[in-house]
Chains A and B, each alone.
Chain A
Amino acid sequence: MLRLCGGRLAAQLGSLHGSLQKPACGSVRGVLSCIDPSLGLNDVQKEFQKVAFDFASREMAPQMAEWDQKELFPVETMRKAAQLGFGGIYVRSDVGGSELSRLDASVIFEALATGCTSTTAYISIHNMCVWMIDSFGNEEQRHKFCPPLCSMEKFASYCLTEPGSGSDAVSLMTSAKQQGDNYILNGSKAFISGGGESDIYIVMCRTGGPGPKGISCLVVEKGTPGLSFGKKEKKVGWNSQPTRAVILEDCAVPVANRIGNEGQGFLIAMKGLNGGRINVASCSLGAAHASVVLARDHLILRKQFGEPLANNQYLQFKLADMATRLVASRLMIRNAAVALQEEREDAVALCSMAKLFATDECFTICNQSLQMHGGYGYLKDYAVQQFVRDSRVHQILEGSNEVMRMLISRNLLQE
């Protein structure tokens, strides 16, 4: 399939390898271009973004391939990120958070994702979990759970999906029956990011009758008797985070660990997911941005038929299309983030639209970038294939893009 010709390949690979270590935030020449992600931001946001980009290119990008191939959960690197304030970006500062806005968080995740999309996606899930405790927990719970989570001394996982309920989340069956001061949990959760490694599990379970009003939110700590994990799943991407089933067998959880009131669980879940959708879309954005930069550099370097690929009008136009869709995705996400932080009534629909549009478009951008790399794009030595594999799942989780369409059409068609 790949025709490798002679010694010239080594020289070409050398110059192409060079493009792997270029700063992902800007071009080789460092000149501002239309896809610059700092355009439109204020000075403070540009500072955060700079820190996040520096961190991504120095601490994450050099290791993203190893984390993916060896399936390593980069605990130390994530803790370093937490030291910079990335562990609880939109969590209140009295419990260790950075108390920034949703837009700031989107900018930060987008930048980090250019270093490693999979790890950043996990960091965003962790952030969502801490936020849930911060927003809906009582003072005791906030001060007990949030500080070690903000510093990433402990890691968190979010458990909603079950083997029998994915898109139909409301039909979840994990039961929680009150016995004295405890709830006894029985059931299993599927596809849990961080499962087995995390210390804190935010579990949505049924304390009441069927339907959304019967669901409550409980914090289950690792080591609780009755909490166990399935095998580590083998995935196409997102390999720097372990994914396991979470199994609860007569697991006793104190009532004091319930976040919010009984029956409030589904509301908490949905509010969490609005932000989670912006976060995951921002991760797609980072992957796509990095892919466009890689494609641009490749088109300038690679020569065929006596000239650089960049002289080819088809490829110029394709790159222009990719850049346009990247910027469109970015604007949708940032707009939705602002709507969410302002608690506008269209926030849910905008978050769904942003997630739907951006995850689809950004995966396509990554894929097109891979195509532009030719045979090299298919090699694991080149980052672009990892961006493709990591961003593929963003179209499926945090509410599949089909569910996003359900939410949007419901908003349009309601009487």
Chain B
Amino acid sequence: MAELRALVGVKRVIDYAVKIRVKPDKTGVVTDGVKHSMNPFCEIAVEEAVRLKEKKLVKEVIAVSCGPKQCQETLRTALAMGADRGIHVEVPESEAERLGPLQVSRVLTALAQKEKAGLVLLGKQAIDDDCNQTGQMTAAMLDWPQGTFASKLTLEGDKVTVEREIDGGLETIRLKLPAVVTADLRLNEPRYATLPNIMDYEAARALGGHESQPPSSPVCGPPAFACSSLPLYLQLVPIGTRTCFLSSSNHGESSTLKLFPL
């Protein structure tokens, strides 16, 4: 499908090779100064999306990451691997700990609709929390079919055939697009970012040059988002105890907002 857009979720996690240490107050693990990188299953998802684009089955690959500012490193890696655009949904450090599969799948649902994605590709689970929920929840919220633990993916017309690794062995299912697929280990071997790709991304970023601006007051409104072809920053800020709003700003244009309960 020359018109198909793939939305790929990428998560910034502690690097797989790092020895994890528990914080002295036992509230979590030490993350300060520790090496982070893209979740390995997310890398596999990005690789699959880029391969589909190279086969001209997907028109555009959009990478998404939710979290504090450092998520931009992960997005940069995705762009260097071949993704076309990166969307950073910014969550302040203080709120980031409360961000789990439920919240992320709500964000992905909104973005998939906004970006008119036909395929949502995610890693099967993150190696820090091992939740294995985001893909499934996103599919439920979107009311789309899901193919999880994919070890093989074939796009044909408006259907996607997914070979899944399940407890009993391998299961092959066929889904009608739009669909959510989560990547398992044997789906592919991710490529390295190449120097030319890294430089191209940097050149594009230098041209774009934007910072997100915190809006002055929260506004309830219909879901409407400003869109651009360069990396776009969305900001998720808590108001009161539970509600948040999503603001988008680009080159200082006035922002349009949507109230977004967490």
Contacts and interface: CB of A to CB of B under 8 A. Distances in A.
Contact of A55 (B17, B19, B80, B192): B192
Nearest to B17: A23
Interface in B204-233: none
A85 B202 contact: no
B19 A29 contact: yes
B195 A32 contact: no
A30 B17 contact: yes
A26 interface: yes
B96 interface: no
A178 interface: no
Given A47-B80, A51-B192, A51-B193, A31 B34 contact: yes
Given A44-B199, A47-B80, A98-B199, A29 B192 contact: no
B192 A22 contact: no
Contacts of B193: 47, 51, 84
Interface residues of B, number: 22
Nearest to A31: B33
A98 B77 CA distance: 18
Contacts of A47: 76-77, 80, 193, 198
Interface string A8-30: 00000000000000110010111
Nearest to B72: A43
Contact of A85 (B15, B21, B76, B195): B195
B195 A89 contact: yes
Interface residues of A, number: 25
A84 B19 CA distance: 29
Contacts of B35: 26, 30-32
A89 B19 CA distance: 34
A48 B196 CA distance: 10
B14 interface: yes
A51 B198 contact: yes
A85 B19 contact: no
A83 B19 contact: no
B194 interface: yes
B18 interface: yes
Contact of B34 (A29, A50, A55, A83): A29
Interface in B15-35: 15, 17-19, 21, 33-35
A103 B199 CA distance: 15
Given A47-B80, A55-B192, A84-B192, A30 B14 contact: yes
Contacts of A26: 18, 35
Contacts of A28: 17-19
B194 A83 contact: yes
B17 A85 contact: no
Contacts of A23: 15, 17
A100 interface: yes
A290 B107 CA distance: 42
A30 B34 contact: yes
Contacts of B77: 47, 50
A61 B73 CA distance: 25
A109 interface: no
A30 B18 contact: yes
B10 to A, nearest CB: 15
A44 B202 contact: yes
Contacts of A31: 33-35
Interface string B172-203: 00000000000000000000111110110010
20 contacts: A23-B15, A26-B18, A28-B17, A28-B19, A29-B34, A43-B73, A44-B198, A47-B76, A47-B77, A47-B193, A48-B198, A51-B80, A51-B195, A83-B194, A84-B194, A84-B195, A85-B194, A89-B195, A93-B196, A98-B196
List the 9 closest pairs (A to B, CB-CB), nearest first.
A85-B195, A30-B18, A30-B35, A98-B195, A32-B33, A47-B198, A84-B194, A23-B17, A28-B19
